[in-house]
Structure 1
Amino acid sequence: MQVTVNDILKAANGKLLNGNGDTEINGFFTNSRETHSLPFKNALFVPIIGERVDAHKFIPQVVKDGAKAFFIKKGHELPADIGDAAAIEVDDTEAALLDTGRWFREKFNIPFIGITGSVGKTTTKEMVAAALSSINVHKTKGNANSTIGLPLTLFGLEPCNEAAIIEMGISEFHEMEKLADAGRPTHAIFTNVGTAHIGNLGSKENILKEKLHITDCFTEDSVLFVNADDELLSKVVPENSEFRPAKVKHVVTYGISKEADFYASSITISDSGTDFVANYKDEDGKPLTEQIHLKTLGLHNVRNALAATAVALKLGISPSVSKLGLAAYEPLSGRGNIIKTNGITIIDDTYNASPDSMKASVQIIGEMRGGKEPIHRRFVVFADVLELGEYAESEHYKVGEYIKTHNEENPEGRIDYLITVGKDSEQIGLALNSESLDTNPVTKHFSTNVEASNYLKSLLTKGDAIVVKGSRGMQTEEIISSILNDE
């Protein structure tokens, strides 16, 4: 990326307080500690005003470290010792970053695939990138999907890119409207409607409504790809549905249900990954199939792969080609990675959690079969799901009820041990213990990861399988590290 300060002044409606408008800028950053490690030279610093720290105080240091320009919010005093660095005064630094990102995005006439949903955005984004690996694709790094992360992603676009995949996440009302206005996706994937951030948004219906603003800038040719297995999302499909935004003219569904446009059959899960048949139709309505292998586990990843296959086909890449990229896909750290150690199978799903993704983890480990090394016992380790507000106790309790039903209906894939860590996660075990059943797992609750780790290490033996999951703030990766370091 290469633009000038004058370009940014126009895009952000700013005022030049210092420096030269002809100064070239080829990157933006918000972390003052990254100045020395940036992959570009002429950087513009965006000071974010947080709850605890106003990053304007770091301006002199980032200029000293090499930043060529910076935004400054009206009302802040221009620092001394900034040399010839360009100082751009704006009403709001975060909004200025988003406005500049919107301006830059408009330079690219390529497909933009927006991805939203309560669970699975990052994994879906990575799978779409894998399915599109035969062309030059730009994508969101990590999960930089906010009003700060999105414009930073847009600034990474290059003329050689043939498509862009942009993750778009929200936690408050009206956020998606801002993201959609800046990213302007030409197509969008909606993975599911769960309870993540329900404490802020109030209900699943509100979550659906807010996230559907991802389609605000759709055109006549745009396509919304939705998970047909999600009860609320299925209501968006009918053309006359009150839930369907006016700008959505085309919907493509994917899922396990045979009613979906892209559906999976013959699904098998083992410790080497997941295999399934993707069923779809060509432009003439002729039924077609493609065998797909994934190195990751679970029905939710089957759905993610189906979404990726559908998007790839829309962009002219056949499933026979996109499946090669999906087969090579490696899950990101903490997102369903399979670890084998001393005859024990560990599913590292520690990156983050929601009640819905916890239920998916139960399903995954329940369906897993060991192949050459049969699974004798299944352990589930769940830490607190954070940011549920007043729904915290009830949502954790529902996870316990789900495990109870799972064990009753799936004796061959029953959960043998449930270990919970933290505070609210204790409700999972309480739901199980509310009714004494022979099918219920052994339940234990601990306050810390260390206590849970010590208990697990006293039990785990060859033939056991374990899945570990919790919100990012619970740092459940410590449990897996403890188990591996005890080899």
Structure 2
Amino acid sequence: MTTPRLTVAQLAHVMGGALPRGGGDAAVAGLQNDSRRLQAGEVFVAITTAAADGHDYAAHAQAAGAVAAVVTRVPDGVPGLPLVLVDDTRQALLRFAAWRVRGWSGRIVGITGSSGKSTTKEFTAELLAARYRVFRSPGNFNNTLGIPMALFDLRPEHEVAVLEMGMSSSGEIAALCAAAPPDVAVVTNVGSVHLEYFPSREALAAAKGEIVAGMKPDGVFVYNADDPPVRRLAASAGRPAVSFGQAEGADVRLVRWAVAADGRTEGTLRWRDRNIPVSLPMLGGHYLLNFAAAAAVALNLGLEPEAVAAAAAAIRPFTMRGELHELPGGVRLVDDAYNSNPEAMRSVLETLARWPHRPPTLIVAGEMRELGPESAALHREVGAQVARTGCRLLIGVQGQAEQMVAAAAAAGQAARFVPDAAAALAEVRRELAPGMLLLVKGSRGVGLDRLVRALRAGDSVEGRQP
């Protein structure tokens, strides 16, 4: 079954807009707010931010093959381009999302949290695919712009939609839930990320909690029993709830976990009186908790424990999330460069401490962003923990990572600070030796993914001494 053809005129009606130039018969192939990524046949949505006005890029979008543009005013330099004139392009996108969901009969799983959202989304989609036809929001399409654009690809045959719901201010998750109310709402944790945008952790927790208020009336709340702010959300939710975590009494409980000799993270989940073995091709105890959240969703939606275990065994590594690679000279690389925050950093360091017969270790840690006034102290805490891992060298990269390096050095750890990923790559090439373990982790803006790509492209460390 395919989605009926959507025309520009129908899109204008759904968005509450007008077509001052006509041209409504063209078919719409998708929605895009970035003119550089727009494909022929898509509609360009002009978004205004503090940094740029999307209307200034409408001509570029037309040249790239846009069939129309959603705008709040007539842009310059776009003769002949059909325009969908609306009062607010962001609200127009949310109206489209609400319309798309209203015309669909499946169930929505909404996932939010300070960290682990993307990985939990991927795990959840993989598990549910064992029984259902699953739609998942792609990449980081997780906000009031990304989710509506992603939902363009929602099809009638999809039975479950797994949506990552991110935010940087109060009201954003409420707006997403108004457009796409979850049948199952998941909060992975409330940590330090995004404190830059909130006056307190309590305010941050309240913003995450909008997903509970925004659920469907018969919705189920899946929550982290190890996280006090999330437990408080559950206690006040007044909704059916399923918990996950290591805490005694968690419905889906991680009862054991360890690191295998090859770096895989392994554990056992217990649900009711059943054990579910899990072995993940990635390094980090926090990934097991993300998987436990996904398992709680899957079990609630009717999967049997055996199906969860079978799906777990088939999971492939997710890009830049604890990925394990072999480099020349027997070097093991752990690529965890997708993002970083204090909670995940502490977890991966604890995981390193559990790795039996761990090789000599070099850690490249980028600064952790969006932490607000607590940033320096949180970086110092991580630096002190690095010193307790017994690694060979810590290389801190950019900005507040200098605080991490200072704290590690004060505790006796060999540590160096470098200003950017290029300088970090030079240090790694100088220090990496055969048989070593290299962990790379940092916020995406630091660009440590470029360091990983350079090393995987063939940089050799053969001949150096460990």
* TM-score, length-scaled by structure 2: 0.91
- Distance in 1 (CA, whole Å) between partners of 2:78 and 2:123 is 48
Aligned match of 1:196: 193
1:226 aligns with 2:223: yes
Report the 3-state secondary structure (helix = DSSP H, G, I; strand = E; otherwise coil) of the residue aligned with 1:94: helix
| Correspondence for 2:416 among 430, 444, 454 | 444
- Distance in 1 (CA, whole Å) between partners of 2:451 and 2:51 is 31
How far 1:200 moved relative to its partner? Answer: 0.9
Correspondence list, 1:311-460, <5 A: 311-341=297-327, 342-369=329-356, 374-404=357-387, 407=388, 414-434=390-410, 436=411, 440-460=412-432
Report the 3-state secondary structure (helix = DSSP H, G, I; strand = E; otherwise coil) of the residue aligned with 1:306: helix
Among all aligned residue pairs of Structure 1 and Structure 2, give the percentage whose two residues are the same amino acid: 29
| Correspondence for 1:465 among 414, 433, 437 | 437
Report the 3-state secondary structure (helix = DSSP H, G, I; strand = E; otherwise coil) of the residue aligned with 1:33: coil
Describe the superposition over 1:173-217 as per-residue Cα deviations: whole angstroms up to 9, x where unpaired: 221111111221111111111111111112221111001111233
Q: Report if aligned partners of 2:33, 2:44 keep a CA contact under 8 Å in 1.
A: yes
- Distance in 1 (CA, whole Å) between partners of 2:15 and 2:422 is 49
Code of the aligned partner of 2:145: I
Report the 3-state secondary structure (helix = DSSP H, G, I; strand = E; otherwise coil) of the residue aligned with 1:165: strand
- Distance in 2 (CA, whole Å) between partners of 1:235 and 1:268 is 29
Q: Report if aligned partners of 1:295, 1:327 keep a CA contact under 8 Å in 2.
A: no
Report the 3-state secondary structure (helix = DSSP H, G, I; strand = E; otherwise coil) of the residue aligned with 2:209: helix
How far 1:71 moved relative to its partner? Answer: 1.1
- Distance in 1 (CA, whole Å) between partners of 2:407 and 2:63 is 57
Code of the aligned partner of 1:297: L
Aligned match of 2:165: 168
Aligned match of 2:464: none
How far 1:169 moved relative to its partner? Answer: 0.5
Unaligned runs of 5+ in 1: 239-243, 282-286, 408-412
Q: Report if aligned partners of 2:221, 2:234 keep a CA contact under 8 Å in 1.
A: no
Code of the aligned partner of 1:381: V
Q: RMSD over aligned Cα, in angstroms?
A: 2.2
- Distance in 2 (CA, whole Å) between partners of 1:319 and 1:422 is 44
| Correspondence for 2:275 among 276, 289, 292 | 289
Aligned match of 2:287: 301
- Distance in 2 (CA, whole Å) between partners of 1:313 and 1:228 is 17
Unaligned runs of 5+ in 2: 461-466
Code of the aligned partner of 1:143: N
Q: Report if aligned partners of 2:59, 2:76 keep a CA contact under 8 Å in 1.
A: no
- CA 1:252–1:414 in structure 2 vs 1: closer, same or farther (change >3 Å)? farther
- Distance in 1 (CA, whole Å) between partners of 2:449 and 2:29 is 36
Q: Report if aligned partners of 2:286, 2:348 keep a CA contact under 8 Å in 1.
A: no
Report the 3-state secondary structure (helix = DSSP H, G, I; strand = E; otherwise coil) of the residue aligned with 1:268: strand
Aligned match of 1:100: 96
Aligned match of 2:49: 50
- CA 1:63–1:450 in structure 2 vs 1: closer, same or farther (change >3 Å)? closer
Describe the superposition over 1:326-356 as per-residue Cα deviations: whole angstroms up to 9, x where unpaired: 2222233211110112222111011221122
Aligned match of 2:10: 7
Q: Report if aligned partners of 2:112, 2:165 keep a CA contact under 8 Å in 1.
A: yes
Q: Report if aligned partners of 1:334, 1:351 keep a CA contact under 8 Å in 2.
A: yes
Report the 3-state secondary structure (helix = DSSP H, G, I; strand = E; otherwise coil) of the residue aligned with 2:156: coil
Code of the aligned partner of 1:293: S
Code of the aligned partner of 2:70: F
Q: Report if aligned partners of 1:130, 1:322 keep a CA contact under 8 Å in 2.
A: no
- CA 1:122–1:468 in structure 2 vs 1: closer, same or farther (change >3 Å)? same
How far 1:230 moved relative to its partner? Answer: 1.6
How far 1:263 moved relative to its partner? Answer: 0.8
How far 1:99 moved relative to its partner? Answer: 1.4
Q: Report if aligned partners of 2:105, 2:156 keep a CA contact under 8 Å in 1.
A: no
* TM-score, length-scaled by structure 1: 0.87
Q: Report if aligned partners of 2:56, 2:76 keep a CA contact under 8 Å in 1.
A: no
How far 1:298 moved relative to its partner? Answer: 1.7
How far 1:453 moved relative to its partner? Answer: 2.9
- CA 1:179–1:322 in structure 2 vs 1: closer, same or farther (change >3 Å)? same
- Distance in 2 (CA, whole Å) between partners of 1:22 and 1:459 is 62
Q: What count of residue pairs does the alignment treat as equivalent?
A: 453
Describe the superposition over 1:78-113 as per-residue Cα deviations: whole angstroms up to 9, x where unpaired: 75521xx53211111122112111111111121100
Q: Report if aligned partners of 2:17, 2:86 keep a CA contact under 8 Å in 1.
A: yes
1:88 aligns with 2:84: yes
